[in-house]
Structure 1
Amino acid sequence: MIRDALIALVEERRDLTRQEAAEAMREMMRAGLENPTGEVATPAQFGAFMAALRLKGETVEEITGMAQAMREHALRLDVKVQPLLDTAGTGGSKKVFNASTAGAFVAAAAGAKVAKHGNRAMTSNSGAADFLEALGAQIALTPPQVAECIEKTGMGFMFAQTFHPAMKFAGPLRPQIGFRTVFNILGPLTNPAYAKCHVMGAATPELAERLAQVLANLDMRHAIVASGAGNVDDISVTGPTEIYEVRANGVTHRTITPADLGLQQYAPEEIVGGDAKENARIFREVLSGEGPLPIRDMI
């Protein structure tokens, strides 16, 4: 129960087990269902849980349990082509261009089958859904429609608000809280197509390492979690990037630089984007072989 989880976090001052974290998430998910069975979380419990977890710091086991519970309540996407790739950041780079979403187009053009999962902006200027909508995409598609997009074009977008209907309880509460919560971390981990390959960004190396361990727990085939210089939740062209790579035999770490990729290094202000409309305009220029060179290189 979420009440027991709150007691553990606040009074006992201990980490939750994977099962305890999963059950707390299930109660939050049930609160978004029309006819829930079992205990449901209240708005007060939701806010208290998010604050307590943020103050303590989320462990790998807690994040894993909550991700598994969120997956249970998501609409499933069955795609005939495999393996599937997702590209996502966890946020934190408020002014940086939407490189992970733009990069999904490049990956699809190169032959990858991209099952992109994302939402509107919560803590940044432009989320994946905002960016794609500004490009003219229809984002509120059904699971069969998204599967058809992936099978025919190599890329489809799963709008989190459509594919996680139980999240309608948490949706209005998150902006009211006013700080980043575990949901910023969970979004990229709860792909409804169960994509087995991920390229994920994290604002700090410490978070990147934790996410890599969570992805290993979720049985990823191959994943890369990157944390760029200056708290950029992408592979950066402004300095070194810490890479945590997940394969069947575990997690490995290395550091790469723009020079390692044959690129020059740029100043942080050179990869700044804008709102969704501005980022869409920049991306159209990039697709035309123009646009700012730093952003072209970052994509």
Structure 2
Amino acid sequence: MKDTLNYLFTGKSLTKEEARNILARIAEGMFSEAEIASFLTVFRMRPVKPEELAGFRQALLDLCVAVDFSEYNTIDVVGTGGDGKNTFNISTASCFVLAGAGYKVTKHGNYGLSSVSGASNMFEYFGYQFSNDPAKLRRELEEIGICFFHAPLFHPAMKNVGPVRRALKVRTIFNMMGPIINPSFPKNQLVGVSDLEIMDLYHQVFQDSGQNFLIVHSLDGYDEISLTGDARYVSNDTEDNLSPADFGFKTVKPEELSGGNSVEDAAKIFKNILEGKGTEAQENVVIANAALGIKCMFPQKALADCVAEASESLKSKKALDVFRRLTGV
């Protein structure tokens, strides 16, 4: 670590293999908390390079509790967090809409970072039992269409950096890792990012992943399609802007996407939307993100058709049925 730090402090960067090796050694507990803190600080002083992020990602995927769902055409919908917008659980609700429309969803998530309630808060609140048992997860995926990977159960390597991250109290490279280390290696991934710099970084990492991907950033700062204004997206072979009108929806106000002040508030909003009691703005933003998930899986589909599919899943209560079968609520 001393040699690595001296090398990095001169302004140099790591190759993908060097990044992979050093993170693997950190994960194995080979360095002190002070050494790990110094290492993480480097990437606060300068942006992480694409080859470094790719190496860090590979190390965590090498060390994760992997689940083989390669026979399914799966998708994950996740945001990086860190946008500070405190929205309700849009990505998670979109996952239930996708499952209700007949797609296989392997949702990866954790407790909230930039909002009151993250995906894990929501699943936990409704009584879903976190597990890394492949048989349980496979049964849920086959019979219900969705399963959930609570990140700490699948990434034991992260435990050695947890105390350092909590002590530092600032964003680190690990805040960027969550959306790109799904232990089931989904074939499709819709990722929301909080700024265009991260979008470019993820784009370069995903290009070498072999996945269908679609990365989106709302230009007013949301890490998802917010319908509060235009959004930028990049996929395997396309880059463009999308407006609310492209989805057939009106522009919404930021306050209409609030997740409330507690997990209970967020859970009430979440359940209301699935039960058809949400506001028009809440329903539309969930439909828009689910539609983009379908578009990620099947780029040849017209966006209007994807919106229609997602809307039917939500409004026919198919998404609600999936939610009830998975959580027992």
Name the TM-score, length of structure 1 as normaliser.
Answer: 0.90
Decide whether the 8 Å contact of 2:132 with 2:154 is kept in 1. no
Question: Per the alignment, in what secondary structure is the counterpart of residue 273 of structure 1?
Answer: coil
CA separation in 2, counterparts of 1:223 and 1:14? 30
- Aligned structure 1 segments of 4 or more residues deviating by more than 4 angstroms: none
* Structure 1 unaligned residues grouped into runs of 5+: 32-39
Aligned residue in 1 for 2:23: 25
CA separation in 2, counterparts of 1:277 and 1:252? 39
How big is the shift at 1:228? 0.8
Deviations 1:249-277 (A, max 9, x none): xx431000110000110121221113322
CA separation in 1, counterparts of 2:8 and 2:79? 27
Deviations 1:195-248 (A, max 9, x none): 12001010012211211221112221x1111101321000121001110112xx
Decide whether the 8 Å contact of 2:65 with 2:132 is kept in 1. no
Aligned residue in 2 for 1:128: 119
* Structure 2 unaligned residues grouped into runs of 5+: 287-329
Letter in 1 for 2:27: M
**Structure 1 residues 270 and 19 mapped into 2: Cα distance closer, same or farther (>3 Å)?**
same
Aligned residue in 1 for 2:248: 262
CA separation in 2, counterparts of 1:123 and 1:4? 35
Aligned residue in 2 for 1:102: 93
Aligned residue in 2 for 1:13: 11
Question: Per the alignment, in what secondary structure is the counterpart of residue 177 of structure 2?
Answer: helix
Aligned residue in 1 for 2:208: 217
CA separation in 1, counterparts of 2:99 and 2:71? 13
Are residue 150 (structure 1) and residue 149 (structure 2) matched?
Answer: no
Spell out the pairing of 1:111-122 with structure 2 (5 A cutoff): 111-122=102-113
**Structure 1 residues 6 and 122 mapped into 2: Cα distance closer, same or farther (>3 Å)?**
farther
Decide whether the 8 Å contact of 1:80 with 1:151 is kept in 2. no
Q: How many matched pairs?
A: 284
Which of 182, 185, 191 aligns to 1:194? It is 185
% of aligned pairs identical? 32
Decide whether the 8 Å contact of 1:258 with 1:265 is kept in 2. yes
Which of 50, 65, 82 aligns to 2:72? It is 82
How big is the shift at 1:123? 3.8
Decide whether the 8 Å contact of 2:76 with 2:106 is kept in 1. yes
How big is the shift at 1:80? 6.4
How big is the shift at 1:293? 2.0
Deviations 1:137-156 (A, max 9, x none): 11234232112211211100
Decide whether the 8 Å contact of 1:79 with 1:151 is kept in 2. no
CA separation in 2, counterparts of 1:210 and 1:237? 24
Letter in 1 for 2:26: M
Q: CA RMSD in A?
A: 1.5
CA separation in 2, counterparts of 1:4 and 1:159? 35
Letter in 2 for 1:47: A
**Structure having the larger proportion of residues in helix:** 2
**Structure 1 residues 7 and 144 mapped into 2: Cα distance closer, same or farther (>3 Å)?**
farther
Which of 237, 243, 257 aligns to 2:233? It is 243
Deviations 1:164-191 (A, max 9, x none): 1121112233222111111111111111
How big is the shift at 1:81? 4.2
Larger relative contact order, structure 1 or 2 (CA cutoff 8 Å, min sep 6): 2
Decide whether the 8 Å contact of 2:88 with 2:270 is kept in 1. no
Aligned residue in 1 for 2:258: 272
